[in-house]
Chain A
Amino acid sequence: MSVAEVPVARAVVRGASRGARVREIIFPASLMLCIAFAMLTLVVLLLDVAVDGLPVLSWNFLTSFPSQVFPERSGIQSALVGTLLLMVVCAVFIVPVGTASAIYLEEYADGNRWWNRLIEVNIQNLAAVPSIVYGILGLAFLVRGPLELGRVVLAGALTLGLLVLPVVIIVGREAIRAVPNSIREGSMALGATLWQTIWKQILPGALPGIATGIILALSRAIGETAPLIVVGAAAFARFNPNDLTSDPFSALPIQILAWIQDPQEEFRTLAAGAILVLLILLLFMNAGAIYLRNRYEQKW
């Protein structure tokens, strides 16, 4: 490089770096602003709920049945039990069905066949269908209609299950696809059948991912309100559902909604308490999902 060129080159470098420096500051700053806005909204919401709800929280609140007359004696036992039962039955439904569907689509289905492609596209679409539509489906086919289950836990859980099944299948497929092909080949080359390969190599490798997907799906199901309203969950259940297939049931979101709509200020405060309980449940589930992912995720 000749001597004369040096200052020119420096000027160019300096000019570029000034513009770049400004952009370097503006861009992350605007990103921060977006995060701050989202976080601020969340924090305000949580604080508002916590201020209202924390005084309500007590053992009595958790163990009492809701009352329409005495807010001070009112609690969420039936709603909490209802929600837990819904989650358990929902999990029993979606774990095998979702995992099996994911295995079929990844390992057995020939992607060139039109019906398999149709199934794939439909699962993607179903994941985006509004939850109220699933509620109507549940009402028409599970509560009434062909199955005639009635307004029971089983009907509610199956409705929620159908709602989150697409998510379980999609996440499950991702997890199965993440198991490298070399593992499949290694297993098959040893004389293992496809079924043995799936059962002993692919599923264990995909399990953390599948489990994470299931927990996240349940976290979505636990907060769903609309489908449960349509399916006919009770707003003020004075007893727990003893039977999954015959007793009416309530759930936390339903209870919250009922209290929020109450004209009496005292009942609306109870809603904040129930929201806190629901949030804590959610937090635990998501923490569980993160733990599973970090602890057991297979690095290939």
Chain B
Amino acid sequence: MRQVTERPESSSEPRAAESAAGAQKPPAAEPADGRVMGPGTAPAVEGVKAPAAAPDSKPVFAVERLTVSYAGRPAVREVSFGIEERRITALIGASGCGKSTFIRTLNRMNDLIPSASVEGSVRYHGQDLYAPDVDPVQVRKRIGMVFQKPNPFPKSIYDNVAFGPRVLGMKGEMDEMVERALRRGALWDEVKDRLKQNAFGMSGGQQQRLCIARALATDPDVILMDEPASALDPISTGRIEDLMFELKDRVSIVIVTHNMQQAARVSDMTAFFTVVVDDTGHRHGEVVEYDETEKVFTNPADERTEAYVTGRVG
């Protein structure tokens, strides 16, 4: 169950319709029985790769026939779907199905792996992220990322948050930017008296919220989260999930998770990845189903999805 903690003041403003709808979604109980939300609440969408965009939401990413290969061997193939603005999109699926590979193409982090190559297109607000004239550094300024293991820099809490604005040369009062980011990261009250202390002295959950605050400091449009809570205890996990709800009125969030309950609790949309073995015996990931989270968890179109979300497989 999601932890009920106090929300900071920032979340008290009235919400846009779509985020209110997302926040009101009842915390899905046990996905193991998979039917808690009642069948047929979402519009029926035929099968695989249907971009089921809600009418009130614009796509922030339009992914078209995306194939990512390492050293020529595809890790994830022919992925096509749209990721919507100001919503939380969960990527679920068994290990090795290319979720992390996929999420890392959205801010060109795969560029750091020399053997990685990308085919197909990823459009970000209509602009091809892999066009030759696109600077990956500029991409990452707009699209932040939080990793599986908290990775604070071996610096003070303050310097961790200030790092992004500093390297980007952002104008403004640094103390204010740091405070704002820490408040949005729901960490300010815990750390305001020890901003100069080394971030390595924080608990794992605090470190991860620091990493989120650090990503927020550069005021990104999207935050990608690669299993952000997999190394954390349930209380810290609950805090991070609360935080995601609070953030989604300003940023779009894409989250990779192995935790089915978490995907059901936090996300508006869910993409289910699976491992496919091709004719040559090589394994790669594909997207089986992409739809409203309720639909994926209660009335999935594909039987592989159903097997996975009900816990029969994986």
Interface set of A (CB-CB < 8 Å, partner B):
110, 112, 180, 182-193, 196, 200-201, 204-205, 298-300
Contacts and interface: CB of A to CB of B under 8 A. Distances in A.
A279 to B, nearest CB: 36
Given A110-B114, A196-B167, A200-B167, A188 B140 contact: yes
A196 B140 CA distance: 14
Nearest to B149: A182
Contact of B151 (A112, A182, A193): A182
B147 A188 contact: no
A183 B167 contact: no
B188 interface: no
Given A189-B140, A190-B140, A298-B154, A184 B112 contact: yes
Contacts of A200: 163, 167
Interface in B132-149: 137-138, 140-141, 144-145, 147, 149
Contacts of A186: 147, 151-153, 211, 214
Contacts of B200: 299
Interface in B120-178: 137-138, 140-141, 144-145, 147, 149, 151-154, 163-164, 167-168
B253 to A, nearest CB: 15
A200 B166 CA distance: 11
Interface size class of B (residues with CB under 8 A): 20 to 34
Nearest to A299: B200
A200 B147 CA distance: 20
Task: Give the residue among A112, A186, A191, A298 with the most B Cβ atoms within 10 A.
Answer: A191
A283 to B, nearest CB: 31
Nearest to B155: A204
A261 B95 CA distance: 72
Task: Give the residue among B163, B211, B214 with the most A Cβ atoms within 10 A.
Answer: B163
A296 to B, nearest CB: 11
A268 B141 CA distance: 69
A190 B167 contact: yes
Contact of A185 (B151, B152, B154, B214): B151
Given A182-B147, A192-B167, A187 B112 contact: no
A152 B132 CA distance: 53
Contact of A190 (B112, B114, B144, B149): B144
Contact of B163 (A180, A190, A300): A190
16 contacts: A182-B151, A183-B154, A185-B147, A186-B152, A186-B214, A189-B107, A189-B144, A189-B145, A190-B163, A190-B167, A190-B214, A191-B141, A191-B167, A192-B137, A200-B163, A205-B154
Given A192-B137, A299-B200, 14 more contacts: A112-B114, A182-B147, A183-B151, A185-B109, A186-B151, A189-B144, A189-B145, A190-B140, A190-B167, A191-B138, A192-B163, A200-B167, A201-B153, A300-B154
Chain A, interface SS category: helix
Contact of B140 (A112, A180, A191, A300): A191
Contacts, number: 68
Contacts of B214: 186, 190
B305 interface: no
B80 interface: no
Contact of B218 (A191, A201, A204): A191
Interface of B: 107, 109, 112, 114, 137-138, 140-141, 144-145, 147, 149, 151-154, 163-164, 167-168, 200, 211, 214-215, 218
Contacts of A190: 140-141, 144, 163-164, 167-168, 214-215, 218
A201 B163 CA distance: 10
Contacts of B137: 188, 191-193
A27 B145 CA distance: 53
Contacts of B145: 185, 189
Contacts of A196: 167
Contacts of A298: 154
Contacts of B140: 188-191
B114 A185 contact: no
Contacts of A201: 153
Nearest to A111: B114
Given A110-B114, A182-B147, A200-B163, A189 B109 contact: yes
A202 to B, nearest CB: 11
A183 B160 CA distance: 11
Contacts of A299: 200
A180 B138 CA distance: 24
- Can you list the 5 inter-chain pairs with the closest CB atoms, starting with the nearest? A191-B141, A182-B151, A189-B145, A190-B164, A192-B167
A191 B138 CA distance: 7
Task: Give the residue among A192, A196, A201 with the most B Cβ atoms within 10 A.
Answer: A192
Contacts of A188: 109, 112, 137, 140
A116 to B, nearest CB: 12
